[in-house]
Structure 1
Amino acid sequence: MKIIIVDDDCLVAAALKTILEVNEDVQVAATGVNGKEACQLYEEYQPDVLLMDIRMKEMDGLEASQKILEKFPKANILLLTTFADDEYIVKALRLGAKGYLLKQDYGSILPAIRAVDSGQTVFGTQITSRLPELLMGKQGFDYGSYDINERELEIIRLIANGCSNKEIAAELFLSEGTVRNYLSSILEKLQLRDRTQVAVFYYQHR
């Protein structure tokens, strides 16, 4: 598993590199100190996971995430920060970051990287418990204006509740293939990138 670490604190980056490379299957291909370098390094190495700080000079982690995801929509970006800032969390979710962890929780970093690499979305416990409140938006949103039908709305709700395609299929008595087809339709209609953004969209418009 190839990782890039970007953090403006060189000591933090070095410590993370040491911690991660204790594991034989983890290779830290490069490190950077700002978002501008993150964009350059991602294009050069195209890692399995980009582990990146948010607050950095020249270009912060959120702006870098946006630029990288515009060019590489399937990029796995795990944001690591000392700040559980509400605005940062919401923006990270909207951009399509695959995770948002606090630096203080060093023990969860490697499991989070592995989870993100396997296609999961990961947020620290402190953050997950606050997501519904942070993302709550206006009531009575008209999904019909996006041509979303009742079955698609059911699937959106289940995605927002954290259900996998397999769990959704069991709940709605559908095949996993049918669920994937519905999800593709939902993403196209709402002009979203992935299931994380579907969950964000749902909570924003509840």
Structure 2
Amino acid sequence: MKVAIVDDDPIVCSSLGTILTATGTAEVIWTAHDGETAVAEYERHEPDVLLIDVQMPGMDGLEASSRILHAHPQARILILTTFADPDYIRRSIELHTRGYLIKQDVASVIPAVQAVMAGQVVLGAEVLQNLPLSGDAGQPVGSAGSAPVEENPRFSSLTDREREIMALVAEGCDNRQIARELFLSEGTVRNRISDILAKTNIPNRTKLAVEWLSCH
């Protein structure tokens, strides 16, 4: 796997690169420290997965992601930042990036990169707690003062086991973590999530988590 890292702190780029290469997860083919350089480098050397920060001098990570995705709609971009800001998260989801992680959760970087490479969408637990609800004036999920809501009818046909899996998906767990927690195989978890997506007619894991959190 070939990965690129964009962060205004060279030490972060170096540290992430060391983690990814030392574990044999990926080869880091280039790094950049601002959005404009990231866009230019992506055109020259397209990575399998791009890790990018949000706040950087000049063009920020979200604008850079927007430009890259406009030219390369299938780009696998993983936002890696210190800010679980609802507006940043909303913009990231609207851009159809493949994930949003908080930097402090370094242990999640390797499984997140692997999941994104496998076509999954990854959101950290802290990010899921700050997802903005559409039509809710930007108020994040689970914030104080939010009115109780009834469960979305889409979830009415789920089995008890599927509900257990959904709760863990909404907490930001990946398939391996869910399998370990529920004593299932990863293949079973993957199949159950596919069944849930089909039953609820929700297109992907991110929107699945958003819908679940909006009514639980």
TM-score (norm: length of structure 1): 0.69
Q: Distance in 2 between matches of 1:196 and 1:61?
A: 23
Alignment CA distance shift 1:200-1:110 (3 Å): closer
The equivalences for 1:52-63 within 5 A come to: 52-63=52-63
The equivalences for 1:141-156 within 5 A come to: none
Q: Distance in 2 between matches of 1:106 and 1:46?
A: 24
Unpaired runs of 5+ in structure 2? 137-152, 159-165, 170-191
Q: Distance in 2 between matches of 1:200 and 1:71?
A: 28
Counterpart in the other structure of 2:40: 40
Counterpart in the other structure of 1:148: none
Unpaired runs of 5+ in structure 1? 139-152, 173-178, 184-194
The equivalences for 1:1-206 within 5 A come to: 1-131=1-131, 134-137=132-135, 164-169=193-198, 171=199, 195=204
Q: Helix, strand or coil: the match of 2:112?
A: helix
Q: Distance in 1 between matches of 2:95 and 2:197?
A: 25
* Deviations 1:75-94, CA, capped at 9 Å, x for gaps: 11001111111111111111
Q: Distance in 1 between matches of 2:207 and 2:116?
A: 17
Q: Distance in 2 between matches of 1:164 and 1:71?
A: 31
Q: Helix, strand or coil: the match of 1:137?
A: coil
Q: Is the 8 A contact 2:78 2:97 kept in 1?
A: yes
Q: CA RMSD in A?
A: 3.0
Q: Distance in 2 between matches of 1:168 and 1:110?
A: 25
Q: Distance in 1 between matches of 2:53 and 2:114?
A: 18
Q: Distance in 1 between matches of 2:20 and 2:210?
A: 34
Which structure's residues are more often helix, by fraction?
A: 1
TM-score (norm: length of structure 2): 0.66
Q: Helix, strand or coil: the match of 1:46?
A: coil
Q: Distance in 1 between matches of 2:109 and 2:207?
A: 25
Q: Helix, strand or coil: the match of 1:135?
A: coil
